[in-house]
Amino acid sequence: MTRRPFTDWHTHIYLPEHCGPVWTRRGLELVGKEAFGVATPEAHIQAMDEAGASHFAVVGLQIAMMGMHIPNDFIGTYLHAHKDRAIGVGSVDPTQAGAPQRLRDAVKEWGLSGVKISPPYQGFHPHSEEAYAIYRTAADLGIFVMFHQASVFAPDGHLEVASPSLIDKVAREFRGTKFLLAHFGKPWMNELVELMMKNPNVYADVSTLPIKTWQLYTGLRLAIEGRVTGRLLYGSDFPSFTPRQDIEAFLAISDLKMPLPIPREVVEDILYNRPFELLVQK
């Protein structure tokens, strides 16, 4: 099979000491791999090369209440080693004092293109003042905001602030900023598609859904009917999944024998035609 170049919009790098006890233990409990797998820079670039990923976004995460802290310097250093094919998405925890300034410093130092935050993991409301301080900073810096606005595996996570609808107010008030919601907003794909239909500055990635056939199928059907597939992006969520296998599972959703199928050209379009320029001015 000849490989076509594609962009993996959702990948992680981290070391065991970045993960904290919850991430480490839940990985072992849920998938049999501490911290959901080895995500060293060496393992990461090997996985990208094996899959033929021409481009990838490398995403950080900082969660004070879980002791997770992937330093922005770690993301930035890796980004610089792969500048021709990578963008960097840093992270700050909005609940921690000084987060906006740390974001500003990291973006200026490393040329990061986005920031990842997560109301349910980090434990804040998307309409709170601490969250708005991050949105204002992102708008000022011209970077996109990536939300983990979806279900969480952490027992102490806050599902009551995980709903994609909560981002509507944010997308309305920051029209000049682009928002990327991870994991198709699962299990609220219906809500996410409604959010995308009315807000042209909202995007979503499909990471982790290829193993959840029903969620991926219904999500894609909703997106087709809502005419928003052009703003869906492929992501593997490495190291949870390696893109080489994950891509096969993603494309195979079009083989499902259903009265309303997912056309092959829709999944191929999502995989192969989503360059960085959609969210980033380089």
From the CB of 255, what's the least distance to Zn ion, in Å?
Answer: 26
Whichever of 191 and 237 has its CB closer to Zn ion, that residue is: 237
CA 241: distance to chain centroid? 13
- Helix or strand (DSSP H, E) at 239: none
- Span near Zn ion by CB under 5 A; candidates 31-39, 45-53, 212-220, 237-245: 237-245
Please enumerate in sequence order all residues whose Cβ is within 8 A of that of 91, keeping only pairs 6 or more positions apart, or say none.
59, 60, 61, 62, 70, 72, 115, 116, 117
Of the candidates 208, 217, 218, 227, the one whose C-alpha atom is nearest the C-alpha of residue 253 is 217
In the complex, the smallest distance separating the C-beta of residue 132 from Zn ion, rounded to whole angstroms, is 24
41: preceding bond cis by omega (within 30 degrees) = no
With CB under 5 A as the contact rule, which of the stretches 16-24, 30-38, 173-181, 229-237 interacts with Zn ion? 229-237
Name the residue with the smallest CB distance to Zn ion. 237
Q: Could you say which of 237, 246, 271, 274 contacts Zn ion (CB under 5 A)?
A: 237
User: What is the smallest separation between the CB atom of 98 and Zn ion, expressed in angstroms?
Assistant: 24
- The least distance separating Zn ion from the CB of residue 9, rounded to whole angstroms, comes to 10
Please report whether residue 8 would count as binding Zn ion according to CB under 5 A: no
User: Which runs of consecutive H residues, i.e. helices, occur in the chain?
Assistant: 16-31, 41-51, 72-81, 99-110, 119-122, 129-141, 167-173, 189-198, 213-225, 243-251, 264-272
Based on CB atoms, which residue is closest to Zn ion, 113 or 262? 113
**CA pair distance 76, 93, nearest whole angstrom:** 17
Angstrom distance (rounded) from CA 120 to CA 278: 26
Q: Which residue, 93 or 237, is less far from Zn ion as judged by CB?
A: 237
Query: Would you say 138 or 152 has its CB closer to Zn ion?
Result: 152
Bridge partners, residue 12, by sequence? 59
For the bound state, the minimum distance from the C-beta of residue 110 to Zn ion, rounded and expressed in Å, comes to 19
# residues near Zn ion by CB under 5 A: 1
CB of 120 to Zn ion, least distance (A): 13
Q: What binding mask, one character per residue, do residues 82-121 give for Zn ion by CB under 5 A, x or -?
A: ----------------------------------------
95 closest CA partner among 62, 73, 68, 142: 62
Which residue in the block uniquely carries the two structure tokens 């000849």? 2
**Quick one: 8 or 237, whose CB is closer to Zn ion?**
237
Residues that bind Zn ion (CB under 5 A): 237
